[in-house]
Structure 1
């Protein structure tokens, strides 16, 4: 294995990412025959086939996945080395790939702006996805740090709490329940719910909150794939929604949406900054973790803003 080169590993990674040698070659700035040669040399070195050629493209074999894991680990270590060299030089430079679940996109830009004001030499990239997509990106090493409501199971991670995450139930301002107080779970269960897809953090919290309410799971509501769609649908009077308070702070403040006074709400959760614990922490990652732990909460929407005085 001593003859394996970085070029070979990067070729294999690009083939896996695109599923086609032509596309991998375009990414790497090489010709398709050159990428094919790199793959053949690596397969000769390992003595195993690294990709199955299928009608849908190149698919990594078990041996190929093992090589890919090593390639990703080497690339990460090279990034760490680059940041460490910059740190030794006394230069606050580096890069950070930040992923956020869709609920966190409402405050992530403020966090990034504040952090980059203190560390202008650190280049940041932002990826927004649902919980499943963000966890998958952590698994395949596409992210350095992810912001989410709960650390994912099944991945070795280090998690830092950086603020409270209130969950609320919202309705249109003219909904009959807006004027009621101490609404029970049984009463709210009779409403038409608009909810995120199964497996999302908000959906999981909602199912836990409503657990034990007779008959609720028989007709839980209508699934929607984004918080924005849910908010617009609630405004239109299609139903009520269990949602992150941080996604509706502006709409509640401007009275386009109203909070329902449901017993047990708001449900208090926390925001976490999550990174893999089985990889080295770069100076840029360490700086961002420290920033979130010390100052992250101040860039979250103030929870008091969610409760304007009612105008009955």
Structure 2
């Protein structure tokens, strides 16, 4: 183990955590071949297989479980070291301004609460808006960090992955298309309730249907995910939303997801900063916290 790298260890842990090389690549924000190479290098170095295949998923071998236990201890030691260094940087006070797209409000406040308990002297100022508004605030330095599913491409930014961000089509629980696999074409005549222009969710929905060669029928534009959910429950139409926004309603059987080919569309949550903006210690600490632990606070997605 002496010459094993942290990159190799984290690649192995990500494959076991997600069950697939593709899932691990998304989690680590690298390519699947890069993950495979790191695991293979680690196996060659140790001289033992670390993964077993069970159906279409990977699970750790006996040797893999030993290595994962060591990885857990390494990550804990790194976290302890980071906490000690944070204290040395004077993280007993300060301020950090965070902007989040409205969909992120279903998990970010919990993450910020955990951060605040670790750093009670740091004030976190929170603003919520659609993607267009949050990116404009980031560009104008009105916020230090943005949390979004789609980082901007028209300015230089540093982005740090938080976790997977799936999108689905939701329906009332008595919808006739529930319970069977359908093609996107089956929704060509359906009425959709959509977010306003400038919303990242709206843009992702439009790209999904454009790729399927379909122009969805827009029944209403609604500027709130909560109102969209209530309207779908009332039978006013279908909606394309982040699965994180409807986790509670799915668990309570107040909404259902349609099984549509090509869905869920899985993106990533990112914490984003402008490359040219120098981070203060509080902003750097929050960036590190969200990229390392943010996935812990994502809502659990259960089948409808």
TM-score w.r.t. structure 1 length?
0.67
Asked if 1:268 corresponds to 2:266, the answer is yes
Kindly tell me the number of residue pairs found equivalent between the two proteins: 219
Aligned to 1:247: 245
Asked if 1:307 corresponds to 2:303, the answer is yes
CA contact (8 A) 2:130 2:198 kept: no
Aligned to 2:140: 140
Shift of residue 182 of structure 1?
A: 1.3
Aligned to 1:184: 183
Tell me the distance in 2 between the aligned counterparts of 1:153 and 1:299.
27
CA contact (8 A) 2:89 2:281 kept: no
CA contact (8 A) 1:87 1:283 kept: no
Q: Deviations over 1:251-299 (max 9, x none)?
A: 1100110011111111111001011111111111111111112111010
Q: Deviations over 1:135-183 (max 9, x none)?
A: 111111110111001101222211111110010100010111123x211
Aligned to 2:165: 165
SS at match of 1:216: coil
Asked if 1:296 corresponds to 2:275, the answer is no
The alpha-carbon distance between structure 1 residues 183 and 120, as it changes in their structure 2 partners (threshold 3 A), is same
Shift of residue 189 of structure 1?
A: 2.3
Tell me the distance in 1 between the aligned counterparts of 2:89 and 2:247.
43
Aligned to 1:112: 112
Shift of residue 211 of structure 1?
A: 1.1
Aligned to 2:200: 201
Any gaps of 5 or more consecutive residues in structure 2? Answer: 1-85
SS at match of 2:152: coil
SS at match of 2:150: coil
CA contact (8 A) 1:87 1:93 kept: no
Q: CA RMSD of the aligned region, Å?
A: 1.7
CA contact (8 A) 1:189 1:213 kept: no
The alpha-carbon distance between structure 1 residues 203 and 89, as it changes in their structure 2 partners (threshold 3 A), is closer
Q: Deviations over 1:84-117 (max 9, x none)?
A: xx97674522111011001011111101111111
Tell me the distance in 2 between the aligned counterparts of 1:272 and 1:241.
24
SS at match of 1:190: coil
Tell me the distance in 2 between the aligned counterparts of 1:264 and 1:273.
26
Tell me the distance in 1 between the aligned counterparts of 2:118 and 2:177.
46
SS at match of 1:170: strand
The alpha-carbon distance between structure 1 residues 135 and 122, as it changes in their structure 2 partners (threshold 3 A), is same
SS at match of 1:186: helix
Shift of residue 184 of structure 1?
A: 0.5
CA contact (8 A) 1:96 1:123 kept: yes
Aligned to 2:62: none
The alpha-carbon distance between structure 1 residues 282 and 91, as it changes in their structure 2 partners (threshold 3 A), is closer
Tell me the distance in 2 between the aligned counterparts of 1:157 and 1:182.
39
Aligned to 1:216: 215
TM-score w.r.t. structure 2 length?
0.69
Any gaps of 5 or more consecutive residues in structure 1? Answer: 1-85
Query: Larger C-alpha radius of gyration, 1 or 2?
Result: 1
